[in-house]
A and B are shown apart, each in its own frame.
Chain A
Amino acid sequence: MSTPKFFTPNNHLDDNGIALAAEALMLDRSEALPQDIALHLESCDRCSQMVLDTADITAMSPIVKPQHHPFFDARPVIHRFPQFWYSVAALFLLTVSGGGTFYLITHRPMPQAPAVSELPAGVPDASHQIAEGPSPAEVPSTPDRFTPSPNLDDLISSEFRSTTLEIIAPKNGERVSPPITFLWKEQTGTLKLKILTNKEVTILTAIVHKGRYTTAKRFEPGLYYWKLESDDELAAIGTFTIR
């Protein structure tokens, strides 16, 4: 139920406002008048005259005083119901937002399951960054993030018979900052580029070609591995660090 209006566009009391003020006088409930009406009547002679006349006239009319006035008595009821539901809604929002915030704090944004998609080489695009992440227990603390992965390091130091690619950038262990551009000697065909944490968790997968791929993804500080695969076979592997 909307709040009734008691003023004209000219900021004087309308007939409802005049009648309400007159009833407030007759029922001895002036203190229950809305403040804007009371303040207006303190300064507006014209409206005050109308209220006084109406109260005089009403006093001449044999009208029974209502047990429950439609405004003075109904007002608390009108507001109690919405206030209750506003409180419930506010509590719900607080719970949801508080819980959400707590969840976000305790569950830092983690890479999720890989969703491989096409990306033109050389186009920076964070949308190809994949959400495949470790569980909270797997998230290393900052010093741990720089600990090399023995398995991946072995791959780097090994000689691959199938290696056909030469990495140009970033050089192994190179310190980089976003956007990161990966360069390799151009070869025909489509490759799959993967970026992994030092815990061997894949955090990005992208379909790449033309010897170039740029990502604007923001990485946590740490040591990362990146791989190029052709037909699920390792074609190249390198590392880079983020400070």
Chain B
Amino acid sequence: MLQGTRSVRIFVSDERSLTTLHRDSLQPPMGHASHMLDIEMLRHDRNQFILECQRTIAIVVKYHTQRGMFSGSEFDDIIQSVNEELIQRLDSIERNFNGSVMLNTYMNVVIRNICLTIFERTRRNPVTEPITEMRTGHDSEAMAPVLLQDEYRRFSHTMRLSAGKRSKMIFCFKVYFRLPVTEQDVQRAFDRLPEDQWRPVLERFGTEYDDTLEADNFNSIASLMNLQEKNTTTGASLLRWTHDNLTRTITMMNGDPPVRSHTKETVKLLLEEVTP
């Protein structure tokens, strides 16, 4: 949410005129839970389209500011830079948008790319101010659930992007961290096998198994995984596969440029809390 009553100067329209918008004009009308950008507006009334984009721009810049790419004190300057760049790109937006997605989402992609361009242009490191300091009126304790919710969602999305191997990853991650697996985990991971074949796995890894050897665990999984995948992998290579995918998941979670600090431990915590 935009703060205060300061004005945001933006260049609008083909006449290159300088327009000053008051923050109040950027707020959505009362009672409207959402606003939808319109491709016809982009085609016929670019001034209005830029005005309609202001809330999207503010959200995207806030997102990157929260993740330390920009300082909270330069929020307005970044908004200004994004607007300047966006006006330059209107023709290509109109040309390239193919109508298969919501224009709002498409503009989120475009404005995110602009933010990255601005970030890379300044060639700076992510700022290190605590992200909760930018949220005036909220203390860090109050923000914690919100931030956790964001991380849960990102973790869930990260796993779902690995659609073809998601079930295998979740199962192997849990065994790697020695977390108890659920019946659903096992059933999904070995969905081509009859229950009498995967049931022993559930009995072995469904409860505490801290005192077992990692190599033994993965050797026992590998034999069943070979039946599932009609493969001939070893426990060691399945462990390596698990480690590689865990590393990739952490990279995905942290972002590019890295603006989070996830590790194996945080992934373990997330696995305990959510079923991705």
Assuming A30-B160, A42-B165, A70-B100, is B34 touching A58 (CB within 8 A)? no
Residues of B close to A18: CB separation below 8 A? 109
| B112 touching A70, Cβ below 8 Å | no
B96, B98, B101, B154: the one contacting A52 at CB < 8 Å is: B154
When A19-B101, A20-B100 are in contact, do A56 and B150 touch as well, CB less than 8 Å? yes
> Chain A residues near B6 (CB, 8 Å)?
none
A105 on the interface (CB 8 Å rule)? no
Cβ–Cβ contact B113 & A15, under 8 A? yes
Asked whether B96 lies within 8 Å of A45 as measured between CB atoms, the reply is no
Q: How far is the CA of A59 from the CA of B106 in the complex (A)?
A: 14
A15/B36 contact (C-beta < 8 A), A48-B161, A61-B56 known: no
A92 adjacent to chain B (CB < 8 Å): no
Digit string of B160-198 for contact with A (CB within 8 Å is 1, else 0)?
A: 111111000000000000000000000000000000000
Known A16-B97, A71-B100; contact A42-B63, beta-carbon cutoff 8 A = no
The verdict on A5 contacting chain B, using a C-beta distance below 8 Å, is yes
Report if B264 contacts A (CB, 8 A). no
Given A45-B252, A60-B59, A54:B112 Cβ within 8 A: yes
Report whether B157 and A55 are in contact in the complex, using a CB–CB cutoff of 8 Å: yes
Residues of chain B contacted by A23 (CB below 8 angstroms):
101-102, 105
Complex alpha-carbon distance, A124 and B151, angstroms: 87
Question: Which residue of chain A has the shortest Cβ distance to B98 in the bound complex?
Answer: A4
- Complexed CA–CA distance, A63 and B108 (Å): 12
Indicate whether B240 reaches chain A with its CB closer than 8 angstroms: no
Q: Which residues of A contact B105 (CB under 8 A)?
A: 19, 22-23, 54, 58, 63
Q: What is the CB-to-nearest-CB distance from A137 to chain B, in angstroms, rounded to a whole number?
A: 63
| Residues 106 to 164 of chain B near chain A (Cβ within 8 Å) | 106, 108-110, 112-113, 150, 153-154, 157-158, 160-164
**Any chain B CB within 8 A of the CB of A229?**
no
| A interface footprint on B244-256 (CB within 8 Å = 1, 0 otherwise) | 0000100110011
Interface size for chain A: under 10, 10 to 19, 20 to 34, or 35 or more residues?
Answer: 35 or more
A21 to B100 CA separation, bound complex (whole angstroms): 11
Query: Is the C-beta of A64 less than 8 angstroms from some C-beta in chain B?
Result: yes
Tell me whether B80 is interfacial, beta carbon within 8 Å.
no
Question: Known contacts A19-B101, A50-B109, A54-B105; is A42 also within 8 Å of B164 by CB?
Answer: yes
Within B246-275, the residues touching A (CB, 8 Å) are: 248, 251-252, 255-256
Q: Is the CB of A57 within 8 A of B63?
A: yes
- A18→B108 CA distance, assembly (Å): 10
Chain A residues contacting B252 (CB-CB under 8 Å) are 45, 48-49, 52
Shortest CB-to-CB span from B32 to chain A, Å, is 9
A6 to B102, CA, bound (A): 14
CB contacts between A and B, total, < 8 Å:
127
**Nearest opposing residue in chain A for B96, CB measure:** A15
Give CA–CA (A5, B98) in the complex, Å.
Answer: 8
A contact residues around B97 at 8 Å (CB):
15-16
- Chain A contact residues, majority secondary structure: helix
CB of B33 within 8 Å of the partner chain: yes
Is there a chain A Cβ closer than 8 Å to B60's Cβ? yes
Q: Is B161 in contact with A54, judged by CB distance below 8 angstroms?
A: no
Min CB distance B239 to A, Å, is 20
Docked complex Cα distance between A220 and B164 (Å): 64
Chain A's closest residue to B62 (CB) is A60
Chain B CB within 8 A of A174 CB:
no
Tell yes or no: B4 within 8 A of A by CB.
no
Assembled-state Cα–Cα distance A31/B59 (Å): 28
Given contacts A5-B98, A20-B101, A49-B256, A61 and B157 within 8 Å (CB-CB): no
Chain A residues 152-204 with CB under 8 Å of chain B are none
Chain A positions within 8 Å of B62 at CB level: 60
CB distance from A219 to the nearest CB of B (A): 62
Instruction: Provide a sorted-by-A list of 12 A–B residue pairs whose CB atoms are within 8 angstroms.
Output: A4-B100, A15-B109, A41-B162, A42-B165, A46-B256, A48-B252, A51-B161, A52-B158, A52-B252, A54-B108, A54-B109, A59-B153
On B, residues with C-beta under 8 Å from A are 28, 33-36, 55-56, 59-60, 62-63, 96-102, 104-106, 108-110, 112-113, 150, 153-154, 157-158, 160-165, 248, 251-252, 255-256
* Pairs A-B, 5 closest by C-beta atoms: A71-B100, A19-B101, A19-B105, A4-B98, A4-B100
In addition to A42-B162, A57-B63, A70-B99, 18 A-B residue pairs with Cβ atoms within 8 Å of each other are: A5-B98, A14-B96, A16-B106, A19-B102, A19-B108, A19-B109, A22-B108, A22-B109, A33-B163, A45-B248, A48-B161, A56-B150, A56-B153, A62-B28, A63-B102, A63-B104, A63-B105, A64-B36
